[in-house]
Structure 1
């Protein structure tokens, strides 16, 4: 395997990890409005992801940095062509992060409820908007966009809102909500857990339907034998997770399978994309490929050694964090 191909796989792995981990963060953030009945229950939901959400976002930062270093032309084309949707995602993530820190601060007498309510809305929309727009963005990358001979995007923002990409956005949104619901069931006790199981059962139906439509469309237009296999694994994992959730009592397996469904769905998109990184709908000659977009061999070689040294340390630290905060919590864990 060439270093260009190795780093394409590495970046795909970072995105898979991001969607697996940040997916349940987004789901929990959305469920703070749909699942929690009062401020105490909302605090329970936020506390399930409180110790890990910022660490999960490191996968996004690393994926962006690795793309910039390993495939600078891909980075330039992607971030200039998708400027507005990526800016919206960035603003939503910033507001969401600030909301986690500020919602518990006392602003003054008599207005604590309004203060928290405003930040809770930021958590909700700061989770919902990226959960939808990431699906829209990656569906467009796989489908192809209007790139000219200089690999510059010459379409408009509205060109990105096609039927295929909107179905992709609905798929990621529903998958992340389902993933967040089964994570909540895994991390909580009592009535919240029971309601999370019921919520997952309801949302899971929509997630299965949306994912089936999106994966079948992807396979028909951009698929291969490999994507048929990865898409099938994603579908089986999602259905198995939904069935286990219905039976109850196997929260760990339910969560693991829902994460596997998200991971293999993302793998299907990257396998469909390769060897392109940004296909052009104007002409195949205008498409950005792994070879055309990559940095020099020396740069990729240095990056590889850095990754070999530091990646295991990052994984060990993040794994340790999840181990420390592994216990379930409930309303009894929240002080008055």
Structure 2
């Protein structure tokens, strides 16, 4: 297998890890004003992600760094053409991080909770918009420069992608809260998950069917459907752990469907002659070789540390502070 293919797959894996782990963080923030009844419950919801949210964001940093090093042309075109949406995502993530750190140090938490909500909602929508545009293709010239405007990125298919990730992450967050809490808060999370199920399945599957291209993407679409269905059945049976696993599988299938539809492009152009591919966007073979050795050494270390963190903070939380 060529190193360009290896790194395309690794970047897909990094985005998958980010969406699976950061997805429930976004979901918790989006659900905060709807599931909590008082400050104690809001504090409990925040505590469910308190030990892990910043570690989950490492996946985004590594995905961005890997894209810059392995496919610099892709990185340059993406960040110049999608500058404003990505800037808004960055601002939202900063606002969310500040809210999570400072809400426990302030006498009034209402403002920080609003910041947490909006800092979760905006990325949950805009990541879907961004990836929908990447898969569908954007206007690029012969120098691989983006020639569209902000409104070019806000077409119906892109907005459907934003709605798909919003619903997918919100349901993922509801299932995570059901897994990590007890009592009335858990019951509300379970009810929220059941309410979200029909819309999530309809929108996510509709988006993936429109985005798919090739037999492998159909397999990934099937995985996403099986994961969503499994989450429904496990939630109905009160098996919170299996429900969360199934929800994670749905997100894995979702990302896999996008990347398999994208291959062998990394940034399709409306004019196929101007598309960026794994070949013309890649770094030189020496750079990819060095990166491969570094990834082979450090990836198991990072995965082991993060798995240990989740194991340590695995117990359910009650409403007590």
CA drift at 1:243: 2.2
Write out the 4+ residue segments of structure 1 that deviate beyond 2 Å after TM superposition: none
Query: 230, 251, 260: which is aligned to 2:240?
Result: 251
- SS of the counterpart of 1:147? coil
> Partner residue of 2:305?
317
Q: Map 1:56-75 to 2 at 5 A.
A: 56-75=56-75
1:227 and 2:220 are equivalent in the alignment: no
> Partner residue of 2:266?
277
> Partner residue of 2:275?
287
Query: 270, 289, 303: which is aligned to 1:301?
Result: 289
Does structure 2 retain, via aligned residues, the 8 Å contact 1:175–1:204?
Answer: no
Distance 1:298 1:247 in 2: 52
Does structure 2 retain, via aligned residues, the 8 Å contact 1:237–1:258?
Answer: yes
Query: 194, 198, 214: which is aligned to 2:207?
Result: 214
How many residues in Structure 1 have an aligned counterpart in Structure 2?
321
Distance 1:95 1:233 in 2: 34
Does structure 2 retain, via aligned residues, the 8 Å contact 1:144–1:280?
Answer: yes
Distance 1:228 1:313 in 2: 33
Distance 1:46 1:325 in 2: 13
- SS of the counterpart of 1:123? helix
Per-residue Cα deviation, 1:56-82 (whole angstroms, up to 9, x for no partner): 000000000000001001000000000
Query: 249, 257, 265: which is aligned to 1:260?
Result: 249
Per-residue Cα deviation, 1:125-169 (whole angstroms, up to 9, x for no partner): 000000000000000000000000000000000010011111111
Distance 2:237 2:194 in 1: 10
Distance 2:38 2:303 in 1: 35
> Partner residue of 1:109?
none
Bigger shift: residues 45-54 or 230-239: 230-239
- SS of the counterpart of 2:254? helix
- SS of the counterpart of 1:103? helix
Distance 2:196 2:207 in 1: 16
1:173 and 2:166 are equivalent in the alignment: yes
CA drift at 1:247: 2.6
CA drift at 1:245: 1.0
TM-score, length basis structure 1: 0.95
Distance 1:73 1:160 in 2: 20
Does structure 2 retain, via aligned residues, the 8 Å contact 1:7–1:70?
Answer: yes
TM-score, length basis structure 2: 0.99
1:81 and 2:81 are equivalent in the alignment: yes
Q: CA RMSD in A?
A: 0.7
Unaligned ranges ≥5, structure 2:
none
1:240 and 2:230 are equivalent in the alignment: yes
Distance 2:139 2:260 in 1: 21
CA drift at 1:208: 0.6
Distance 1:59 1:13 in 2: 10
Unaligned ranges ≥5, structure 1:
107-111
> Partner residue of 1:187?
180
> Partner residue of 2:138?
145
